[in-house]
C-alpha cells in the first residue's frame, strides 16, 4: 500500500502519562486566585462547547466513491476518535477505582460513581462509532487504514486499557462476593453502560470488517494461539497512534484531555453522520469527565458556570 494515504505522520502527536493512569496529586496547590480562575476557565470553555453539540448532526456529504478527500477525512476521524478515547479510558479507570472506594460510603456517593462509570463506557463506544463515521466505510477502512496496522494489532495493546481491565475486574470481584441490594443496583447501572459499549463495538466491526474478525483474531486463527502482549506491543501501539508517554501532572492531563475533547466536538460540528443517540452518549462522557476534573480543582467560585453542584443535578 502506498504511504501517500498513511496520514498518521501528518497528525499531531498527543502526550499521555507514562503509566497509563491518571496522574496523582492535587491540581490547585499554591495557586494564586488568578491562576485558579484560569484553570476554571478551561473547564468552562469545554462545558460551553459540549453545549453546542446538537441532538443529531447528520450534515456530512455522503460519499459513495473513494476520493482523496474521503480518505483524508477518514484518517482524521480515526486518529481524533482514538486520541479522545485514550483520555476517556484513563478517566474510566479512575472512576472505577473511586466506585470501589465508595462501596462503604453513603449510597448516593457510590451511585454517582456508578453513573460516571456507565457514562464513560457509553462515551467510549460512541467514540468508536465516531471514528468510523466515514463512507464508504468498509472500503476505506480495509484498504487504507487496516493495511497500515502491524500483525495482530489490537486495542488490548493500549496501556489505558490494561488499567481499565484491572479496575473493572476488581469491581466485578466485589459484586460477585457481596449480594447486598445496593451493590446489585450499582452493578446494574455499570452493566448498562458496558452493554452499550459492546453494542457500539459490534456495530463498528460489522461496518468496517467483512468477516467481523479483528487482526488479533486473524493471528490466532493462523497461528493457533494468541499474540503475546509485551512492552514491545504497548510501545508499538503508542507509536502507531502517535502517543508520546511523558511524566505529567494532573492539571497537564486535564488541559490536554480538554483540548482533545474540544477538537472532537469541533470535528463533529464541522461534518458528521452521527445519529442522536451517539451524540448523546458522547455528551454524557464529556460531561462525566468534566465533573471529575472539577472535583480535582477543589472549591470553585459559586458564581462560576461550572459550579459542580449544577453538574451533579442539584
If residue 302 lies in a helix (H) or strand (E), which one and from where to where? Answer: none
Q: Name the β-bridge partners of 209.
A: none
Could you give the CA distance from residue 199 to residue 191 in angstroms, rounded to a whole number?
Answer: 12
**Model pLDDT, residue 310:** 41
For cell 468496517, the residue is: 208
- Helix intervals (H) in 19-152: 33-50, 68-101, 107-131, 137-140
Say if residues 97 and 54 touch (Cβ distance below 8 Å): no
Measured between its terminal Cα atoms, the distance across the chain in Å is 55
What pTM value is reported for the model? 0.90
In this structure, what DSSP letter does residue 102 have?
A: G
pLDDT-wise least confident of 64-78, 149-163, 170-184, 213-227: 213-227
- Domain spans of the chain, in order of start: 3-22+59-246+260-273
Q: Which has the closest alpha carbon to 76: 142, 129, 149, 131?
A: 131
pLDDT per position as a tens digit, 214-266 = 665 654 566 676 767 889 999 999 999 999 999 999 999 999 999 999 999 99
Contacts of residues 194-203 at CB distance under 8 Å and 24 or more positions apart, as own/partner, are 194/118, 194/121, 196/121, 196/122, 196/125, 196/281, 197/121, 197/122, 197/124, 197/125, 198/125, 199/125, 200/125, 200/126, 200/128, 200/129, 200/278, 201/125, 201/128, 203/129
What nine digits make up the cell of 66? 473513494
Could you give the CA distance from residue 119 to residue 286 in angstroms, rounded to a whole number?
Answer: 9
What nine digits make up the cell of 97? 477505582
Q: 124 falls in which pLDDT band (50, 70, 90)?
A: very high
pLDDT per position as a tens digit, 73-121 = 999 999 999 999 999 999 999 999 999 999 888 788 999 999 999 999 9
Q: Which has the closest alpha carbon to 122: 285, 309, 250, 2?
A: 285
Amino acid at each position: 500500500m502506498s504511504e501517500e494515504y498513511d496520514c498518521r505522520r501528518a497528525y499531531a502527536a498527543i502526550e499521555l502519562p507514562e503509566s497509563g493512569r491518571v496522574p496523582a496529586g492535587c491540581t490547585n496547590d499554591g495557586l494564586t486566585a488568578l491562576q485558579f480562575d484560569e484553570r476554571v476557565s478551561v473547564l468552562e470553555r469545554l462545558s460551553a462547547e459540549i453545549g453546542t453539540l446538537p441532538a443529531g448532526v447528520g450534515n456530512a456529504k455522503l460519499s459513495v466513491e473513494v476520493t482523496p478527500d474521503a480518505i483524508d477525512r477518514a484518517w482524521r476521524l480515526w486518529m481524533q476518535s482514538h486520541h479522545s478515547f485514550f483520555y476517556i479510558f484513563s478517566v474510566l479507570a479512575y472512576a472505577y477505582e473511586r466506585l470501589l472506594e465508595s462501596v462503604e460510603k453513603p449510597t448516593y456517593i457510590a451511585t454517582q460513581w456508578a453513573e460516571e462509570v456507565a457514562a464513560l463506557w457509553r462515551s467510549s463506544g460512541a467514540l468508536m462509532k465516531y471514528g468510523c463515521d466515514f463512507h464508504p466505510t468498509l472500503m476505506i477502512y480495509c484498504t487504507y487504514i487496516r493495511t497500515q496496522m502491524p500483525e495482530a494489532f489490537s486495542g488490548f495493546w493500549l496501556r489505558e486499557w490494561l488499567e481499565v481491565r484491572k479496575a473493572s475486574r476488581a469491581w466485578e470481584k466485589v459484586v460477585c462476593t457481596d449480594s447486598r441490594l445496593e451493590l446489585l443496583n450499582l452493578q446494574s447501572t455499570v452493566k448498562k453502560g458496558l452493554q452499550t459499549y459492546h453494542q457500539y463495538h459490534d456495530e463498528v466491526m460489522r461496518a468496517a470488517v467483512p468477516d467481523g474478525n479483528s487482526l488479533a483474531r486473524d493471528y490466532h486463527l493462523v497461528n493457533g494461539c494468541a499474540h503475546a502482549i509485551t512492552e514491545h506491543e504497548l510501545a508499538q501501539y503508542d507509536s502507531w497512534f502517535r502517543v508520546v508517554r511523558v511524566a505529567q501532572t494532573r492539571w497537564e492531563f486535564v488541559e490536554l484531555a480538554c483540548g482533545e475533547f474540544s477538537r472532537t466536538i469541533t470535528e463533529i460540528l464541522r461534518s458528521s453522520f452521527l445519529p442522536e443517540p451517539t451524540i448523546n452518549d458522547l455528551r454524557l462522557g464529556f460531561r462525566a469527565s468534566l465533573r471529575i476534573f472539577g472535583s480535582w480543582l477543589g472549591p470553585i467560585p459559586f458564581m462560576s458556570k461550572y459550579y459542580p453542584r449544577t453538574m451533579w443535578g442539584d
